[in-house]
Structure 1
Amino acid sequence: MSEFSDELHEVFERFGRISVRRMFGGYGIYHEERMFALVSGDRLYLKTDDVSRPQFDAKRLPPFEYTRQGKTMATSYYEAPAEVFEDRDEAAAWARLAREAVLRKGAATPKKRKPKAAKPRS
């Protein structure tokens, strides 16, 4: 792990226990097995949704973007504000905001289809 991602355990100490997992050249940040943040380079991005995104937009925080087949793709993860690294209570508040976005998304996930009934054997 990078030194930056190692420090996140302290940053989010008032939010709760987190785990850091390597993924796609960066790191996924998890709380209770749900990814609420990601690290790319030395930047932290938090999960957003339509409810929480206005708070990120108000601070002019950019989304995490990547290039795929020559096109720039924006994600629902937005850069964390600087105060996350300066104040543990702020870090916990922003982490909760991201976690709530994750939970809302999970609640909106369509239900799995029921498997088709097996055909009776002749």
Structure 2
Amino acid sequence: MDALTDLCVELLSPLGPVRTRAMFGGRGFYVDGLFMALIANGEFFLKTDDTTRERFIAAGCRPFSFDTKDGDRIVMSYFSAPEEALESPPLMLPWARLAFEAALRAANAKVKKKPSAAAVAKRAAQSAPDKSAAKQPAAQKKAARTRRP
């Protein structure tokens, strides 16, 4: 790992064991299996949501964004960490907690989402026994009985 990744692991470690993974030319950071931070273009970003975003904006943090091949700008729900928070784990802790809470809310929202009616119907169709296959052996037996001399 590089020095920035090592520093960010140390900064997030008060939350628990930190796991990192290479992704999109940067690094993703996970605590308790929740994706809560990333490094992109040499900068550390923390997960935000509607509940936490304003705190990051008020602290002067910038959103993570990138340009697509089509020239569109995509703004993600990750904001740069406040400069002073990068100095020590105790200074990062309140920001890391906000990011972890946002990641937890996002994970819970995915679990609570009900599947669409089309998805339910598709699953039901896939799990229903194939009636034609079940009847096939019986039909073959009947045909065999009618052919006997």
The 5-angstrom pairing of residues 84-95 of structure 1 reads: 84-95=85-96
Whole-angstrom distance in 2 between the partners of 1:11 and 1:83: 12
Q: TM-score, normalised by structure 1?
A: 0.89
Residue 58 (structure 1) aligns with: 58
Whole-angstrom distance in 1 between the partners of 2:77 and 2:100: 13
Q: Is the 8 A contact 1:11 1:85 kept in 2?
A: yes
**C-alpha displacement at 1:9, in angstroms?**
2.2
Whole-angstrom distance in 2 between the partners of 1:73 and 1:86: 29
Query: Which has the bigger relative contact order, CA under 8 A and spacing at least 6?
Result: 1
Identity, % of aligned positions: 34
Residue 111 (structure 1) aligns with: 114
Q: TM-score, normalised by structure 2?
A: 0.74
Q: CA RMSD for the aligned pairs?
A: 1.6
SS in 1 for 2:16: coil
Q: If each structure's helix is expressed as a fraction of its own residues, which one has the higher value?
A: 2
Residue 23 (structure 2) aligns with: 23
Residue 98 (structure 1) aligns with: 99
Residue 36 (structure 1) aligns with: 36
**C-alpha displacement at 1:86, in angstroms?**
1.6
Whole-angstrom distance in 2 between the partners of 1:14 and 1:120: 54
In terms of Rg, which structure is larger? 2
Q: Is the 8 A contact 1:15 1:91 kept in 2?
A: no
**C-alpha displacement at 1:34, in angstroms?**
1.2
**C-alpha displacement at 1:120, in angstroms?**
4.8
Whole-angstrom distance in 2 between the partners of 1:103 and 1:13: 17
Gaps of 5+ in 1: none
Q: If each structure's strand is expressed as a fraction of its own residues, which one has the higher value?
A: 1
**Which 10-residue stretch deviates more, 109-118 or 85-94?**
109-118
Gaps of 5+ in 2: 136-149
Q: Is the 8 A contact 2:16 2:32 kept in 1?
A: no
Say whether residues 1:11 and 2:15 are aligned partners.
Answer: no
